[in-house]
Amino acid sequence: MLKNSNENIAKPSNMLIIIGVLKGYIRRPTIFFLRTIFTFNKFKRTIVLDLPKDFINSSGLIAWMYIRLTHKVGRNKAYEIIRAAILCSGLAVQQANFRNVEDERTFKNLIKYQKKAKESGSTKLNEMEIIEESDRRYIFKVTKCMFYELFKSLDVPELTRLMCSIDNVIFNSYLPEEIIFHRNGVNNRIVDGSPECMFVIEKKD
């Protein structure tokens, strides 16, 4: 019997996932991760935005780990390492949010759980507007992205693109034979200079 349910969702161990990915790229990954945790409180005091504690603890920690990695391996390598780690951990979290194990994967359920994730997940702080909802298409836009606001304030706005990548991974892997996700063109994200981030989820012909 599963210990989780539709209402009591799974809580993947991000720490183990991230350490597992770091192990492939840096020496003593566990020590590096623990030192990141131990020094995080001091870094948090530099965050000037008024944001919920859980959001700062998760997204702020990503930023601090990235910054620490840049000092070890350089900015480009650090970005790719964090990208590898966050895609894995983010997919695990989002699969829990979308109840991939607990419920049938259908277009209808995808929409239902996306709305639930918006209400209670890490994206609850974003401002979102549904443009179209039908049997074949679900289109919405985000007009305010708190990931971008936080990362920009910490001078690491490029990390926003990693969070955007998780969208591609979860939506395009949910029902890959039946559903496709895109942004209705290129540069349709706030991090690219657009006033909004587009989300287009539609059934394949």
In this predicted model, what pLDDT tens digit does every residue of 106-137 receive, in sequence order? 999 999 999 998 887 677 889 999 999 999 99
Output the CA–CA distances (angstroms, integers) from residue 73 to 49, 60, 101, 161, 202, in the order listed.
28, 20, 37, 20, 40
pLDDT digits (tens, 9 = 90+) for 65-96: 999 999 999 999 999 999 999 999 999 999 99
pLDDT digits (tens, 9 = 90+) for 177-202: 999 999 999 999 999 999 999 999 99
Q: What is 14-203's CATH topology? A: H-NOX domain (3.90.1520)
Which runs of E-coded beta strand occur in 65-196?
127-133, 137-144, 179-182
**Percent of all residues in the chain with a pLDDT value above 90, rounded to a whole number:** 85
Judge residue 111's burial from the number of C-beta atoms within 10 Å of its C-beta, 0-12 exposed, 13-18 middle, 19 or more buried.
middle
- pTM, entire model: 0.91
Q: Are 22 and 68 in contact (CB under 8 A)?
A: no
